[in-house]
Every structure is written in structure tokens, then in C-alpha cells.
Amino acid sequence: MISYISGIIRSITREPGRAVVVAGGVGYEISLPTYVYQSLANEGVKEGSEVELEIYYHVTERQPKPMLVGFRHPSEKQFFEQLIQVEGIGPSKAASALVFPVSKIASAIETEDIGSLQRLPGIGSRAAQKIVATLRGKVASTALLQDAGISDQGQVTTVIYDARSEAIEALVTLGYRHSEAQDKVDEVITVNPEISDDLQALMRDVFKAQVSKQD
């Protein structure tokens, strides 16, 4: 199974979003969600450029030809893996639907913004409702991603002993400064001390607090 690839782009197209990446003398055909292609294009990545991609690898008895989907960051791949758990949404449909950064889609899920989800290709009202029903409350950390540049400092190796510290480090990996992350977590604990030992609840309330400040 392939989970990561580093190599040279031999060809890349927008429609359909696809790249052939040569690594170790082998060319790998990789599907690129629209926002991933756009991210690469914005950085001037083109034929002959070096590229590193997180890879979702899919193959089944019914689909013996392997399907590789590329992402810039592990958090994006993780969101994709959550999305395909929704009934009726397989890897091909999910890859086609990701035309916006994953943080925006996750935010729509957490705020139950059905209208925004229906703007995704192939996602109608019923599918949007299934997405919200399945994933709401599970993608708050993704909704907090700093899209301007998900930090490469995200590989945190510090041992975490409590939910508060883990929440702070999770925000740091999403691109927040440590002091800013600490303030956000302490703020929601002050409002609701009962969630201080619940990582998922902390991340959810941090997201809700941020949304409230934007309104």
C-alpha cells in the first residue's frame, strides 16, 4: 500500500485533476481534488517540479485498478478518510467533491450549513444531510485549520498527559501560535470547566467560540 510519495511531476492536469509523479523510476497516476490542484498551481508547481503528497490508496475486488488520491497535508487526508465513511460517498465521489479547502467543508458540517455542502459537486440535499448526521462533532479540529499554510511544524513529539495540553498542541499543529492556542483552550474551560478532561469537547467548543467571534 502507498501512503506517501515524493518525486518529480511528469504531467499534471486540472480537468480532470490528475498528476503523474515519477518516484524511483516508476510513474504513479494520482487523482488530485480541485483544491489540491489549485494549491499546487498557486505555488508554481508544474511539470518537472518536485512534489510531496500524502496518498490515500484504494483498491477492492470490484475495483481492482488501484486509485491513488493526493493531498498536501496529513490532516486533509484524514478528513477525506472520514468523508468516505458517509453512506453513499466513495473515494471517487469524495475526491470530486473537494473543490474547497477541507477546513471550509468541515466548518459547514459543524455549523450544519446544508446549503454550502450542496455547492460541492455531486452532493445533493440528501447527501449533505447524511454528511452532517455522520460527521458533525467529529471534524471540529479540521474546521480550525489555518488554510494559509498548514504548518510543517505539525510533527509534535511531546508526550501529552491531559486533554488541555493535548488540545493546545492540536491547535499548534493546525497553525496557531502556542500562546494563542493556550488562550483559546483556557477560555472555553473557564466557560465550561466540565469539559476540561474531554479533548473532543474542548476542540468542539474552541471551534464554536471562533465561529461566534466571526459572526
User: How does DSSP assign 125-140, residue by residue?
Assistant: HHHHHHHHHHHTTT-H
Where residue 25 falls (left for φ over 0; alpha for ψ -120 to 50; beta otherwise) is: left
Top mean pLDDT of 20-34, 143-157, 162-176, 194-208 is at 20-34
Q: Using the predicted structure, report yes or no on whether residue 176 has a pLDDT greater than 80.
A: yes
Q: pLDDT tens-digit profile of 20-53?
A: 999 999 999 999 999 899 889 888 899 999 999 9
Cell, residue 193? 470547566
DSSP at 73: S
The CATH 1.10.150.20 portion of the chain extends over 74-142
Looking at residue 148, what is its pLDDT? Answer: 37
pTM of this structure:
0.68
The CATH 2.40.50.140 portion of the chain extends over 4-71
Q: pLDDT tens-digit profile of 67-124?
A: 999 999 999 999 999 999 999 999 999 999 998 889 889 999 999 999 999 989 999 9
69 phi and psi angles, rounded to 5 deg: -120, 130
* Class of the domain covering 4-71: mainly beta
Indicate the SS3 state at residue 3: coil
- What's the fold here for domain 74-142? DNA polymerase; domain 1 (1.10.150)
